[in-house]
Structure 1
Amino acid sequence: MLHSYLFPISYAFMAFPFAAFLFTLPFMIIQYRKYGYINKVRAFMLYLFLLYVMNAFFLVILPLPSSRHNAALASGALQLIPLNFVNDILRETSVVPSQPSTYLHLLKERAFLQVIFNILLTVPFGMMLRYYFRTGWARVFAFSFLLSLFFEVTQLTGIYGLYDHPYRVFDVDDLIMNTLGGICGYLAAEWLARFLPRIEKLDEHVDLTTKRVTYTRRAIAFLIDSIIWPILASICHYLHIPASFWVATGIYFMLIPWLTDGVTPGKWMVRIRLTKMGERISIAALFKRYALLYWVFFGLNSLLGASLDNLPDISRAFLGIVVFFLNAWFFVHVVIRMFRKDILFYEKLSKTHHVILWKNPTEQAKKESE
């Protein structure tokens, strides 16, 4: 029976790196938006919770049938009699009530262990809801029930139609035990919290003005902007606006940040903004910064790429070499600056840098002026 539990757990651990990779980007955006930075304790707890949810789900759905066209369950797909597990234990047990020495046999019997498993399955869920999300007992009860219902419906529908028939029984006792497990976790969280940092106090002594804006954070903002601003460039191109690439980048990366005090949609998502020597960013500073980056560096890439087909072979080769060395230099420059935690060339020339955007602009301005 132990092997039947270890099998899905091993699959959950193998799948975890892929799930964590998909989870990381939205996790970082939410953390930056909500707290202004990423706390290691908070990150560890959420990734641990993700690993738990994957283990719980894999334990419920694995092993899968060998074919999508599986046969219907001989005993039926529904068990709607509450506490029917008591009859199962009494029917299968070798325990003799008058002989206490036989009581340990329960620890080896399928029906009893199944009940214990269903309780333990959601204990971490209840603990996490109370400790991390600060959820009250009524919501823990409701969420534990809904989680269990999701598991049971997934089984009853054959993973929502993936299989022809349910391959496990929808058991009302599982709903009861899983919900009980969530409440047990809620109660255990009070004891566990004594040995862990208080979640509500993690940000108590954090000064956002002293935190450096990391290249990871900037890369996320750049990624978001790189999804949005090409839409503006496409509109400019559709309207036959001359030099649409340069017009779109000028509007998006110079005009908009000037009007919004150094914020683009991507920067707003991760709560950072541009400033010049701690003061409001000027249009001149934005022009120096982004004309170098977008109009010279990226603009040259765009111009050369668009012109290659119209030039002789020798000119194409020469321009290809120019583009290659330009990109190679910029890549090496960025890598070196990342490791040194230093600013890039266009930031140094424009005397601009990123700061964390507080939720209270008045308080931020006061703090930065001190």
Structure 2
Amino acid sequence: MSTRVEPAVWAALLMSMAAVVLFVPYIAVRYRRRGELGLGNMALAFAGPLYGLALFFYVFAPFPRLRSDFCAAIGVRRPQLVPFHFLHDMAKSATGNGPMAMLHNPALTQVLLNVALFIPLGMFVRYMFRRSVPVTAAIGLGVSLLIETTQLTGDWFIYPCPYRLFDVDDLIANGLGGLVGALAAPLLSAVPGQRVHAEPGEARPITWRRRLLASVCDLLSFGFLYVPMVAASAALMWIWQGGLYASGALPYWQFFFNSNVERVGFWVPWLVLTVAIPLAGSGASLGQHIVKLRAATTDGRRPDVKARLVRGLTGVGGLLLLNHFGSLSGPVIVLAAVSLIALFKTSRHRGFSYVCARLTLTDSREPSGHEASTDRMQ
């Protein structure tokens, strides 16, 4: 794999994993602060850390293996402290005259790459953190100085000698890139899906995108509860069977495949998400709460216990339950298809679970039936 492509691949992989873990908390925070998601804001929130990871891997990777003859194998890398020394390098590596020959000069290409590398940093800092042009340029220069110093010290003395070159021209080029990015930052306002259409506390229309987002949050929430529950159950069983002291005890990781551990890992989060949360609230799922949705009767009142349980058992909770029993893959597909079709075809995008429970779906920022009647009496 190319050394220029590999950092981007590693950054994309790590950011994708982080995005899955942080997806539900991010949605919850955005709905609390904005009252809606905003795809443009989400894209920028993903792109910023992705750029940071790519920058990290590009600057420091690959990490060489430490060995006794490390410095001899790497060779002496003296810092380049002469400003604009790249002009001398360009003259040495010139292969012809004219603009095209200059563009293909490797010394100039390296400088332009270092400028381009810090343009996104300047754009993100100024646009997303609302910093001025001078402050943004100073931050870009400071980040570049931190990188160059890290390279000069062998990743802060982890390595006995530097494996990357400290170059003052890189510092100049990176600082220029940060300045260019600060000046170009207003271009990010053209990314669609950033404008807030109403106050955070104002009710929004119930769309199929919002309903689907709630279902995704429910599925991810189950996974977030399942993994630590399995890990904790496996640890308790391992300790119970003498894993801390007994010689010849099974290794901890093998308890992950224990049937009792898997049952606890499934049933505890399933009961929390499918039974406890709907019964404790209006009947809506955790994901629906996150995107500010509420279950209600047709006259706007809080559903009874039966309706809340039916809603929980015929939604994502029902899909998870059927999927838990491997022999029921057919019903899982049927329920998933019916639920998806109902999400588009039912009024207010209530979906299959709300039809079964004979409930309607409202924005949680709308007054409930009791609150509305009280307001009318006053």
TM-score, with length taken from structure 2:
0.61
Residue ranges of structure 2 left out of the alignment (5+ in a row): 238-263, 345-349
CA distance in 1, matches of 2:153, 2:292: 43
Which residue of the partner structure matches residue 329 of structure 1?
A: 331
Among candidates 201, 206, 210, match of residue 195 of structure 2: 201
**Residues paired across the two proteins, number:** 321
Residue identity over aligned pairs, in percent, reads 24
Distance 1:330 1:144, change over 3 A: same
Counterpart-to-counterpart distance in 2, 1:295 and 1:62: 44
2:147 to 140, 145, 151: 151
Q: Deviations over 1:43-62 (max 9, x none)?
A: 44455555544554444235
Q: 1:339 to 1:51 in 2, by over 3 A?
A: farther
Matched, 1:126 2:122: yes
**Aligned residue in 2 for 1:60:** 59
Contact kept, 8 Å, 1:249 with 1:294, in 2: the verdict is no
Q: 1:241 maps to what in 2? A: none
Q: Specify the SS of the correspondent of 2:3.
A: helix
In the alignment, the residues of structure 2 paired with residue 137 and residue 215 of structure 1 have an alpha-carbon distance, to the nearest angstrom, of 40
Q: 2:118 touches 2:178 (CA, 8 Å); kept in 1?
A: yes
Distance 1:77 1:28, change over 3 A: farther
CA contact (8 A) 1:158 1:165 kept: yes
Q: In 1, Cα distance between the equivalents of 2:197 and 2:356?
A: 35
Would you say 1:348 and 2:342 are equivalent positions?
no
Cα deviations across residues 309-334 of structure 1 (Å, max 9, x unaligned)?
Answer: xxxxxxxxxxxxxx555442133211
**SS of match in other structure, 1:124:** helix
Structure 2 CA distance, aligned partners of 1:75 and 1:299?
63
Letter in structure 1 aligned against 2:185? A
Q: Scaled by the length of structure 1, what TM-score is found?
A: 0.62
Match of 1:41 in 2: 40
Distance 1:258 1:18 in 2: 38
After superposition, the CA RMSD in angstroms is: 5.0
Q: Is the 1:276–1:351 contact (alpha carbons within 8 Å) kept by the matching residues of 2?
A: yes
Note the 1:258-277 alignment, pairs <5 A. Answer: 258-262=279-283, 267-277=288-298
Residue in 2 aligned with 1:286? 308
User: What's the offset of the Cα at 1:218?
Assistant: 1.6
Cα distance in 2, alignment partners of residues 176 and 153 from structure 1: 14
**Does structure 1 retain, via aligned residues, the 8 Å contact 2:151–2:162?**
yes
Q: Structure 1's 90 and 290: CA in aligned 2 closer, same or farther, altered over 3 A?
A: closer
Contact 2:217 2:287 in 1 (8 A): yes
Specify whether residues 132 and 276 from structure 1 end up closer, same or farther in structure 2 by C-alpha distance, changes over 3 A only.
Answer: farther
1:219 paired to 2:216: yes
Contact 1:141–1:179 (8 Å) recurs in 2? yes
Tell me which amino acid in the other structure corresponds to 1:331.
Answer: I
- TM-superposed CA distance for 1:215, in Å, is 3.3
Q: CA deviation at 1:75?
A: 4.3
Residue 9 of structure 1, CA deviation: 3.5
Q: In 2, Cα distance between the equivalents of 1:296 and 1:272? A: 19
The answer as to whether partners of 2:206 and 2:363 remain within 8 angstroms in 1 is no
